[in-house]
Structure 1
Amino acid sequence: MSDHVDFQGGKFTGPVIGKAEYKQQAPAPTALDALPPPAAGFTGRDQELARLRAALDPSAADAEQAVLVTAVSGLGGIGKTALAVQAAYAAREAGWFPGGVLFVDLHGYDDVPVTADQALQSLLRALGVEPEHIPATADERAALYRSVLAGREAVLIVADNASSPEQVRPLLPGGVRHRVLVTSRDRLAQLGARLVPLDQLTPGAAYELLDRALRIADPEDNRVVEETDAAARLAGLCGYLPLALQIAVALLAEDPGKSAAELAGELGASYDRLAALDDGDRSVRAAFDLSYRRLPADEARLLRLLALAPGPEVSEEVAAVLAGEKEPPLAGLRALARAHLVERGNDAGCWRMHDLVREFGAGELTGDVKTVDEARHRLLVHYYHWADAADDRLRWLPGKPEPERFATRAEALVWFDRERAGLVAAAQWGRSERYASVAVRLALCLGTYFEWRRHWDDLITVSSAAQEAAHDAGDRKNEAMALINLGNALVVAGRPEESVDATLRGRDLCRSLGDREGEAAAWNNLGLALRDLGHIDDAVDAHTRSRDLCHRLGDREGEAMAWNNLGLAQEEADRVADGINAYTRALALSQTIGDRQIEATVWNNLGNALEAVGRVDEALQAYGKDLQFCLEFEHWYGAGQSLDNLALALGSLGHFEDASAHYLRAAGAYTRANAPREAAEARVRAAALTAPEEPTDTPAPVAPPARTTDSVPPGPPPPGVPGTGGP
């Protein structure tokens, strides 16, 4: 950069003043000192605060004994956040964390909590990572997060309001000098954390909080000390919960003429008022109302309807449906964003609303049952039609009519991924009778997608909700389908006893209805659960029944799946030759109907059987065909299994370097398939093969069993919704 300005060639008729302005590209801003302000009147937690300080003090233990994670747990409103923030301030003032303090609210107990992936994105931005440099996948984000922290001095991460260990684990730093402080309503013992349970304040501490916090507003305010008995009653009505006590203080501070006795009387006589104190909604509502009353009627209506969105973010497509418009209400969304009532979401074309604004908007619809019903029904019908279309694409086979809505499987998966949280929440609306018909059909469209993405908890959730709703509505056909889907999800989730119960109920319903296709699917799932329980002969019988039923029905896809699973059961019964024959039959059927997904599954299992009888070269060819198909469909879990099995076979031939490379590829595939446990196991096996050989008395690790693949079809596609039109 030059330090002068060149006017060469210029023509001037008078005095000239040259001015140059230099700007240097600034690094991304950081937010490493972003703690919320301390709670007013904080008191009564001396013992717990001392425990937290001891856990956070870097000089209190050596690296091996350092407390890396501390979890504060207790009832909602008990003051967990206030305690954690107080401890974080004390640690910062002590100079223990020169690298800074990060704070993230995980909203773990909201209807849709913040995911660890979303939290990582927020933390990376706080650490100064440019948004465009944040990786797309959760594992890559976690790796970058640990790498950024590794280059910093000691940092304290405060993860507020977590509901599960899964929300917190990806946020743990890799080094021992950093610390994590978690708050939760549950004891998170699975984190290996120092546990600090929190109880309600003592009556004396609650009384002291009222007095201290009120004197912060006005040092001359003596209402608490002058009305000792009334203040004690007020503290009792607040349940000695710090949150409710703070709200009571705010109400007194707003009205200097109100005595503690009067407020206690009002709270004692008003159940709703006390409930509002418990969650703090009342004091916030007034602030929102000031902004809401300034909105034009159409924007106010949009705000109310957006509050009905079931997911944490609302796509512009869904916003249009809620508003009853053909095109996204972009002008209204932008106007609400200017008023800070909505903001851009994480995904392009998506918007999100602060949780409390959402509650405010929904509260404005109280009593307007017609508007709520119409908007939710519009959204359910929309979700059902598009989920049905996306499901058709995921189920599509060559030779069948091309689905119209989605041109590729990738497009269908992108739509499902974007709307997933909303779909799961909306499918549970079926517990309300007025929404049951559409919500049940929506839930039954989600099975294939959840299996593909391995979202087994979601599949269990929506299938359970669909079964209950269908049962209450007397819809036995769809109840049977929901039970079959539920049994499917439970067996893959490692809950075979529950799977047997659900599947038997579904099978018996199908029998009573004469639904032989559903009965065949139920027998198939029952066989898988029985095999997991060790009842191998019963499993063989169940898969044989499924195979025979499918054959009589002309259901070649179901028959191919049944042959595959029969082969697995026969192998378990040490009938490997019979298993190979079953896989061969399954291959012939899947190739005839052009179902490459089933064919890939069968190639994997045939490879296992061939390897078991010493035909390793043929097994390697079978695994290779399975891998080819899995990569073609981006079926990452299946690819991980085939790579795992290739590595195992190569290791048995003494090709340890190639085996290690395949294990590492398997780990990458499992990571993309949302299977961290399998990914970690593959990395361990790769490391074991590449570790330097040293004399040891410890025996070599036993090779893992080959990974088999079940065929677990959901029930048949649900019927359409009469009178709702196409997507």
Structure 2
Amino acid sequence: MSDHVDFGDGTFFGQVVGKAEYRQQAPAPTALDALPPRAAGFTGRDEELGRLRTALAPSGLGSGAEQAVLVTAVSGLGGIGKTALAVQAAYAAREAGWFPGGVLFVDLHGYDDVPVSADQALQSLLRALGVEPEHIPTTADERAGLYRSVLAEREAMLILADNASSPDQVRPLLPGGGPHRVLVTSRDRLPQLGARLVPLGQLTPGAAYGLLDRALRIADPDDGRVVAEAEAAARLAELCGHLPLALQIAVALLAEDPGRSVAELADELASSYDRLTALDDGDRSVRAAFDLSYRRLPADQARLLRLLALAPGPEVSEEAATVLVGAEAPPTTGLKALARAHLLERGSGRGCWQMHDLVRAFGVGELSRDVEAGEAARERLLIHYYLCADAADDRLQWLPGNAEPDRFATRAEALAWLDREHLALVAAAQWGREKRYAHAAVSLALALWQYLQWRRNFDDLIAVSRAAQEAAHSMGDVEGEAMAWNNLGMGLRESGRPEEAIGAHIRDRDLSRELADPLGEALAWNNLGAAFESAGRLSEATDAYHHSREMHIAIGDCGGEAMAWNNLGNVWQNEGRMDEAIAAYNRSCELLISIGDRQREASAWNNLGNVLGKSGRASEAMEAYGKALSILEGFEDWYGVGHALGNMAIAHIRGRRSGDARSCYLQAADAYTRADASHEAAQARAAAESLTAPEEPTGTPVPGGRPGRTGVFGRRGPRPPGVPDSGGR
């Protein structure tokens, strides 16, 4: 550099002042390795990391290579760990040598009050690439052009655009071509970018547990609280919804208090009125993370989110969503928009949606500002569930000759609706503990007994019946309470708790007497007899069935009389009184045929087959089983089909036809599997395997056969006040 200034041939008049500007010729600074640090305790994303590595890997290695993926978008709920995953993938790609040109990072703050614009992001990236500020163009188009030109001159680079909220924030950041890749994270799916989409869900329970342990040991390598309290740690992870942000906050709360046990923190979260408030470590907050997404929602979508949070089951159908918002048509557009924002996810079936537990808690919290709107929505849904469940029960119990139910055209249609809404119905039926919903919830619980018994969901039957009994008692509804005791007794008996069932049916009987309800008392005697029989108290069972039979005859109820005869036949068969049992079953069949009650007729035929087989009348027994099997298959009663086939197998064994017996056992196992009766299915398969030789049974024949379902009667109450008739009664 010269140490003088040459003014050349200039002519000067007066004083001359020379001003020199010295410019250092070093290149402008760059930021080509700007990745944030890896997240502490990162774990459990092997599958997603694999997908990102596949998308980011260099392409064109052979003639058969797939076209390169220019953009990869990681999307998911706030706090789900999108940035942590993207940063982890970027480090792995850099270490693999795939991006020798460097890695650029820009946080677009897409969900803040003032997001970073694409123009601002371009300016930041150009400076990171070493472009001097005065050389950065003033217009957005010119900046984008310069950005692409600079990238074109460089080796492969990875651009990580974090926290984007719209495609417009990202499009100007895309390179014009070449080996470069763009990795985007967003709470929205951003399919408009033509990107490889990598949606991110919550961690598995095992990965969540692993994150707690690894992150806590980073703070203190000797901190073994998670391992020492594995069960409490699993519960803590569940209370955190297996959400990485919530788990990291829990780790921070534990790390700042080394004397605090994992169980203590879990108990605090479980008992907290507002779990989201508790999940705050002073620097990070789950509520704040969700609030960023919530504030961007239009008013109608925000309302939809709040009301969906009230749905009683783990999933909500579009039908239920329509009722919650009080609309005429499903809010399909809003549901899809919430799904794109990862505030909602597709459920297990068509038209079903599910919400993360912590998002649900957030929605309920937001709705607390309008309590009346929330209560009205719950009431609408509860009445809707009752009307539909009542109509489905009408179809399940419909007999030829009666008026056709209106709501469901077929039995299969009714069962399909009940299966889809099952968990929500069971949860809603327990709302009766709140006074406002008591009447409708009791009616819903009583309408579910047939379905829950049919599907053998006895734990649910016990839960809804107990809730109904408590709610009816609190209202002074003696009739509803009696019916609930009855249904509770049925669930207890089927669950192997006969002594408790006896107490429930005695309570039902006494309340029915108090009401002067002879039909209710007759049913109570019948079901009390079934409980006595299950407890092995056969003499008391006989007396109870006699009471039931005489009362049903007195009031002219042929169906009730038929079931009493059927149940008496069971007791007499167990006592070895075969002729009396055969006569009782025949009488039961006659009565049930006369009224067209095919389901209970199948039970009577099955039981008649058992006693005929024990009496050495094999051909008559097989004929009876065949009639039972035909009816049961028609009703798709797979548990009953399994019973009938098992009994046929025993009859074949008595006749030394082990090949036929083995076939029946295997068919019975398939039927039990369809009925979700895994224990019975395993027993049937084991019995089939014991019959190894075609005509030489090696197993000991089972004495007698399995009885068909004992005739018991569930009961359902009248419609709650103000609820219209659903038709078909």
- Using the size of structure 2 for normalisation, the TM-score is 0.66
Q: Secondary structure at the match of 1:574?
A: coil
Q: Distance in 1 between matches of 2:403 and 2:254?
A: 72
Corresponding position of 1:92: none
2:38 counterpart of 1:38:
no
Q: Distance in 2 between matches of 1:574 and 1:77?
A: 54
Tell whether the 8 Å contact from 2:277 to 2:287 is kept in structure 1 after alignment: no
Tell whether the 8 Å contact from 1:560 to 1:586 is kept in structure 2 after alignment: yes
Question: Aligned-pair distance for 1:41?
Answer: 3.1
Question: Aligned-pair distance for 1:558?
Answer: 1.3
Corresponding position of 1:277: 278
Structure 1 pair 574–245 and aligned structure 2 pair: CA distance change class (3 A): closer
1:481-513 Cα shifts (integer Å, max 9, x gaps):
000111111111111000000000011000110
1:13-47 Cα shifts (integer Å, max 9, x gaps):
xxxxxxx99869x9x9999x984673423277979
Corresponding position of 1:318: 320
1:263-300 Cα shifts (integer Å, max 9, x gaps):
xxxxxxx9979994379898211100011111111111
Corresponding position of 2:446: 444
2:720 counterpart of 1:721:
yes
> Quick one: which of 461, 464, 484 aligns to 1:462?
464
Corresponding position of 1:709: 708
2:611 counterpart of 1:622:
no
2:712 partner amino acid: P
1:191-213 Cα shifts (integer Å, max 9, x gaps):
xxxxxxxxxxxxxxx99x86996
Corresponding position of 1:647: 649
Structure 1 pair 664–438 and aligned structure 2 pair: CA distance change class (3 A): same
Question: Where do 1:158-197 residues align within 5 Å?
Answer: none
Q: Secondary structure at the match of 1:584?
A: helix
1:412-463 Cα shifts (integer Å, max 9, x gaps):
0000000000000000000111110000000000000011111111101100
2:630 counterpart of 1:473:
no
Tell whether the 8 Å contact from 1:481 to 1:506 is kept in structure 2 after alignment: yes
2:527 counterpart of 1:528:
no
Tell whether the 8 Å contact from 2:489 to 2:504 is kept in structure 1 after alignment: yes
Question: Aligned-pair distance for 1:465?
Answer: 0.4
1:365 partner amino acid: L
Q: Which moves more between the two structures, 706-715 or 500-509?
A: 706-715
Q: Distance in 1 between matches of 2:330 and 2:412?
A: 24
Tell whether the 8 Å contact from 1:77 to 1:278 is kept in structure 2 after alignment: no
1:38 partner amino acid: L
Structure 1 pair 565–369 and aligned structure 2 pair: CA distance change class (3 A): same
Q: Secondary structure at the match of 1:38?
A: helix
Q: Distance in 1 between matches of 2:226 and 2:443?
A: 54
Question: Aligned-pair distance for 1:525?
Answer: 1.0
Corresponding position of 1:292: 294
Corresponding position of 1:566: 568
Corresponding position of 1:74: 231
Q: Secondary structure at the match of 1:314?
A: strand
Question: Aligned-pair distance for 1:51?
Answer: 9.1
Tell whether the 8 Å contact from 1:430 to 1:439 is kept in structure 2 after alignment: yes
Tell whether the 8 Å contact from 2:395 to 2:405 is kept in structure 1 after alignment: yes
Corresponding position of 1:377: 379
Tell whether the 8 Å contact from 2:690 to 2:699 is kept in structure 1 after alignment: no
Question: Aligned-pair distance for 1:552?
Answer: 1.2
Tell whether the 8 Å contact from 1:243 to 1:280 is kept in structure 2 after alignment: no
Question: Aligned-pair distance for 1:725?
Answer: 2.5
Corresponding position of 2:667: 665
2:608 counterpart of 1:609:
no
Structure 1 unaligned segments of length 5 or more: list them.
1-19, 53-71, 82-106, 114-159, 162-205, 214-230, 248-269
Tell whether the 8 Å contact from 2:315 to 2:354 is kept in structure 1 after alignment: yes
Corresponding position of 1:126: none
Structure 1 pair 562–73 and aligned structure 2 pair: CA distance change class (3 A): farther
2:545 counterpart of 1:507:
no
2:368 counterpart of 1:355:
no
1:567-614 Cα shifts (integer Å, max 9, x gaps):
101112221211111101100000000111111100000001111111
Corresponding position of 1:398: 400
Tell whether the 8 Å contact from 1:77 to 1:279 is kept in structure 2 after alignment: no
Corresponding position of 1:485: 487
Structure 1 pair 580–589 and aligned structure 2 pair: CA distance change class (3 A): same
2:611 partner amino acid: A
Question: Aligned-pair distance for 1:722?
Answer: 3.1
2:422 counterpart of 1:427:
no
Structure 1 pair 440–712 and aligned structure 2 pair: CA distance change class (3 A): farther
Structure 1 pair 279–347 and aligned structure 2 pair: CA distance change class (3 A): farther
Structure 1 pair 637–694 and aligned structure 2 pair: CA distance change class (3 A): closer
Question: Where do 1:253-268 residues align within 5 Å?
Answer: none
Structure 2 unaligned segments of length 5 or more: list them.
1-62, 70-196, 244-248
Q: Which moves more between the two structures, 670-679 or 385-394?
A: 670-679
Q: Distance in 1 between matches of 2:274 and 2:380?
A: 34
Corresponding position of 1:556: 558
Q: Distance in 2 between matches of 1:371 and 1:50?
A: 42
Q: Secondary structure at the match of 1:390?
A: helix
Corresponding position of 2:518: 516
Corresponding position of 1:683: 685
Question: Aligned-pair distance for 1:518?
Answer: 1.1
Tell whether the 8 Å contact from 2:487 to 2:715 is kept in structure 1 after alignment: no
Q: Distance in 2 between matches of 1:426 and 1:279?
A: 31
Corresponding position of 2:338: 336
Tell whether the 8 Å contact from 2:346 to 2:354 is kept in structure 1 after alignment: yes
Question: Where do 1:130-209 residues align within 5 Å?
Answer: none
Tell whether the 8 Å contact from 1:78 to 1:243 is kept in structure 2 after alignment: no
Corresponding position of 1:61: none
Q: Distance in 2 between matches of 1:544 and 1:615?
A: 28
Tell whether the 8 Å contact from 1:480 to 1:507 is kept in structure 2 after alignment: yes
Q: Distance in 2 between matches of 1:692 and 1:333?
A: 59
Identical aligned residues as a percent: 52
Tell whether the 8 Å contact from 2:646 to 2:665 is kept in structure 1 after alignment: yes
1:592-649 Cα shifts (integer Å, max 9, x gaps):
0011111110000000111111111110111111111111111101110110011110
Tell whether the 8 Å contact from 2:432 to 2:439 is kept in structure 1 after alignment: yes
Question: Aligned-pair distance for 1:73?
Answer: 4.2
Tell whether the 8 Å contact from 1:603 to 1:623 is kept in structure 2 after alignment: yes
Structure 1 pair 77–576 and aligned structure 2 pair: CA distance change class (3 A): closer
1:175-204 Cα shifts (integer Å, max 9, x gaps):
xxxxxxxxxxxxxxxxxxxxxxxxxxxxxx
1:631 partner amino acid: E
Tell whether the 8 Å contact from 1:587 to 1:603 is kept in structure 2 after alignment: yes
Q: Distance in 2 between matches of 1:701 and 1:711?
A: 26
Tell whether the 8 Å contact from 2:449 to 2:461 is kept in structure 1 after alignment: yes
Structure 1 pair 572–385 and aligned structure 2 pair: CA distance change class (3 A): same
Across the aligned residues of Structure 1 and Structure 2, the Cα RMSD in angstroms comes to 3.7
Tell whether the 8 Å contact from 1:210 to 1:245 is kept in structure 2 after alignment: no
Question: Aligned-pair distance for 1:723?
Answer: 2.3
Q: Distance in 2 between matches of 1:273 and 1:355?
A: 13
1:447 partner amino acid: W
Structure 1 pair 639–235 and aligned structure 2 pair: CA distance change class (3 A): same
Structure 1 pair 640–361 and aligned structure 2 pair: CA distance change class (3 A): same
Q: Answer with 1 or 2: which has the greater Rg.
A: 2
2:464 partner amino acid: V
1:719 partner amino acid: P
Question: Aligned-pair distance for 1:703?
Answer: 2.2
Structure 1 pair 210–541 and aligned structure 2 pair: CA distance change class (3 A): closer
Tell whether the 8 Å contact from 2:526 to 2:548 is kept in structure 1 after alignment: yes
Q: Distance in 2 between matches of 1:434 and 1:526?
A: 33
